[in-house]
């Protein structure tokens, strides 16, 4: 574990002003669509003005994600094997929602896609409507079916230009990065996430991270996240280890949920899942009051440096004791259970944020 | 004995008991934030369960996909409550999927904590 690093704090800092950040690096499958919408819907429900735009945003997510499924392809590695499929994600602020996707496309398609996006971006609302009507009858812009229509729909529903860039990655492929923006308040400053997302993607590839989330971690938000992890379990060749990820993730996120003070009906935290040379990495983090640090440290000291057998015995002892405890919902068992499940392979850190608060990072490898 | 028929939700399991087959089944995900609120009526049911009124031993069948630590605490409390009814009158069947190592381990742990006939079934 000494070589494993905690990276949730820097990711939290980087995205501090966003209400919701979700980045996903696969596997990609149609059954994921509904589960991804579950995440955005939960956040937008409590977001004032944006709550009314919830359906529109869901529509954009579906269209964008399915466009990527339909037209993206795997990267071709140097040895000819199939590599990564790209990234899908979103950022939500008070009154804007950004949907970002990156996927490899055949180099031969680059000019056609560029022409199409530029054309769509140059049209007025009325012209887009006309083009849509025309295309739905002839569907001539894309031989693969739907690509042109998808883009026209995205431009129509978002009402904003599609931002994009291409980066050629090998002799036959280019990486197509794009951003769909939904704005409720026309005056809110617009950010351009295309390059930032491209940077995040490179970093995720380098670190082996697969999912990153920043946002509400109350019970209703944890469930859609678990549904995504569960689908990953069913698709993963490492089913045994991935199944463990689900169990540990629940405990880590519910611990955050239980110990984070609620602000605006939200309990904010971050988590990431990735693959490290040591196994599957799960990290979580949240802002805590400095007053809870002594109790938390006491609990961490209790489990630090223990062998798997010692953790098993400690858990057994505390578990048995917990039956007679008066306080029905706080037993400290969660942390011991996580330490036991990862055989003591965990790391943690406190970062002082000033004003009596700290950021608590916790990570395990399974 | 009083019937129990709680339908599963996104974060709570299905719990059912019919005196016909004398089996108490708990199946699904158990992740409620307030696990006590969910398990209290089941534990209450167990405390008044009377083996004298049943023609066969009570079977507790647990097939949990996921459960959080607080649910685990009350499942143990449920089993400990039933332990008092005598080892001839209650049997536990703990089911887990074959690739779910952690659930099998948890079954073994529960089995070492209660003095009841305990079968771990891997499907």
The average pLDDT across B85-103 equals 91
- Which pLDDT score, from 0 to 100, does residue A355 have? 92
Is position A328 within any domain? no
For residue A172, what are the domain limits?
8-275
Which ipTM score applies to this complex? Answer: 0.82
Q: How confident is the model at residue B19 (pLDDT cuts 50, 70, 90)?
A: confident
- Which pLDDT score, from 0 to 100, does residue A139 have? 62
Mark yes or no for CB contact B102/A315 under 8 Å: no
Mark yes or no for CB contact A322/B76 under 8 Å: yes
Query: Given CB atoms, is A323 within the 8 Å cutoff of chain B?
Result: yes
Q: Using CB atoms, which residue from B69, B80, B112 is nearest to A323?
A: B80
Q: Tell which residue, A119, A123, A97, has the closest CA to residue A44.
A: A97
Is position A182 within any domain? yes
Is position A251 within any domain? yes
Mark yes or no for CB contact A244/B33 under 8 Å: no
Query: Given CB atoms, is A324 within the 8 Å cutoff of chain B?
Result: no
- Which pLDDT score, from 0 to 100, does residue A137 have? 75
How many structural domains are present in chain A? 1
Pairwise CA distance, residues A1 & A297, whole Å: 19
Query: Given CB atoms, is A48 within the 8 Å cutoff of chain B?
Result: no
Which residues of chain A have a pLDDT value below 50? 141, 146-147
- Which pLDDT score, from 0 to 100, does residue A121 have? 94
Is position A282 within any domain? no
**CATH architecture of structural domain B4-122:** 2-Layer Sandwich (3.30)
Mark yes or no for CB contact A315/B31 under 8 Å: no
- Which pLDDT score, from 0 to 100, does residue B71 have? 92
- Which pLDDT score, from 0 to 100, does residue A54 have? 83
Is position A47 within any domain? yes
Mark yes or no for CB contact A240/B101 under 8 Å: yes
- Which pLDDT score, from 0 to 100, does residue A2 have? 61
In whole numbers, what is the pLDDT of chain B averaged over residues? 92
How close B107 comes to chain A (CA, Å)? 12
- Which pLDDT score, from 0 to 100, does residue A140 have? 54
Q: How confident is the model at residue B54 (pLDDT cuts 50, 70, 90)?
A: confident
Is position A302 within any domain? no
Q: Where does residue A335 rank: exposed (0-12), middle (13-18), buried (19+ CB within 10 A)? A: buried
Q: In the numeric block, which tokens belong to residue A99?
A: 């949907």
Please give the span between the terminal C-alpha atoms of chain A, in angstroms, as a whole number.
11
Residues of A in contact with B101 (CB under 8 A): 240, 243-244
For residues A12 and A232, the answer to whether their CB atoms sit within 8 Å is no
- Which pLDDT score, from 0 to 100, does residue B16 have? 96
Q: pTM to 2 decimals? A: 0.89
- Across the strands, what pairs with B29? B66
């Amino acid at each position: 574990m000494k070589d494993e690093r905690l990276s949730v704090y820097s990711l939290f800092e980087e995205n501090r002003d966003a209400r919701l950040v979700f980045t996903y690096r696969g596997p990609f499958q149609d059954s994921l669509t509904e589960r991804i919408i579950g995440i955005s819907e939960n956040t937008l429900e409590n977001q004032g003005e944006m709550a009314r735009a919830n359906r529109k945003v869901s529509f954009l997510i579906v269209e964008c994600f399915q466009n990527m499924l339909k037209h993206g392809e795997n990267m071709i590695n140097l040895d000819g094997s199939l590599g990564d499929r790209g990234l899908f994600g979103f950022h939500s602020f008070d009154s804007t929602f950004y949907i970002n996707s990156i996927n490899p496309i055949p180099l031969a398609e680059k000019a056609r896609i560029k022409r199409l996006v530029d054309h769509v971006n140059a049209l007025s609302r009325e012209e887009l409507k006309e083009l849509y009507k025309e295309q739905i009858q002839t569907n001539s812009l894309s031989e693969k079916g739907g690509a042109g229509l998808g883009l026209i729909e995205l431009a129509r529903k978002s009402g904003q230009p599609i931002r994009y860039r291409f980066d050629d990655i090998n002799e036959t492929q280019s990486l197509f990065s794009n951003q769909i923006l939904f704005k409720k308040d026309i005056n809110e400053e617009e950010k351009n996430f295309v390059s930032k997302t491209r940077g995040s993607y490179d970093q995720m590839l380098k670190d082996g991270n697969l999912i990153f989330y920043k946002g509400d971690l109350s019970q209703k938000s944890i469930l859609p996240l678990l549904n995504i992890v569960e689908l990953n379990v069913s698709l993963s060749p490492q089913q045994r280890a991935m199944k463990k990820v689900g169990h540990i993730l629940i405990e880590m996120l519910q611990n955050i949920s239980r110990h984070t003070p609620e602000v605006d009906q939200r309990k904010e935290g971050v988590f990431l899942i990735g693959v490290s040379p040591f196994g599957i990495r799960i990290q979580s983090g949240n802002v805590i009051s400095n007053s809870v640090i002594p109790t938390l440290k006491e609990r961490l000291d209790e489990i630090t440096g223990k062998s798997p057998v010692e953790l098993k015995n400690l858990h057994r002892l505390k578990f048995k004791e917990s039956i007679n405890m008066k306080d029905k919902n706080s037993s400290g068992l969660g942390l011991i259970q996580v330490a036991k499940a990862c055989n003591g392979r965990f790391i943690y850190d406190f970062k002082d944020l000033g004003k009596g608060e700290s950021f608590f990072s916790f990570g395990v490898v399974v | 004995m009083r019937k129990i028929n709680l339908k599963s939700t996104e974060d709570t399991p299905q719990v059912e008991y019919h005196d016909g087959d004398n089996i108490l089944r708990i199946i699904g995900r158990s992740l409620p934030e307030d696990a006590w609120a969910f398990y209290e009526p089941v534990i209450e049911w167990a405390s008044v369960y009377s083996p004298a009124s049943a023609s066969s031993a009570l079977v507790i069948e647990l097939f949990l996909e996921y459960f959080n630590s607080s649910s685990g605490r009350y499942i143990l409390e449920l089993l400990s409550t039933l332990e008092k009814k005598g080892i001839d009158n209650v049997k536990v069947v703990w089911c887990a999927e074959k690739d779910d190592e952690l659930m099998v381990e948890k079954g073994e742990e529960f089995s070492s904590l209660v003095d009841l006939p305990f079968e771990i079934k891997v499907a």
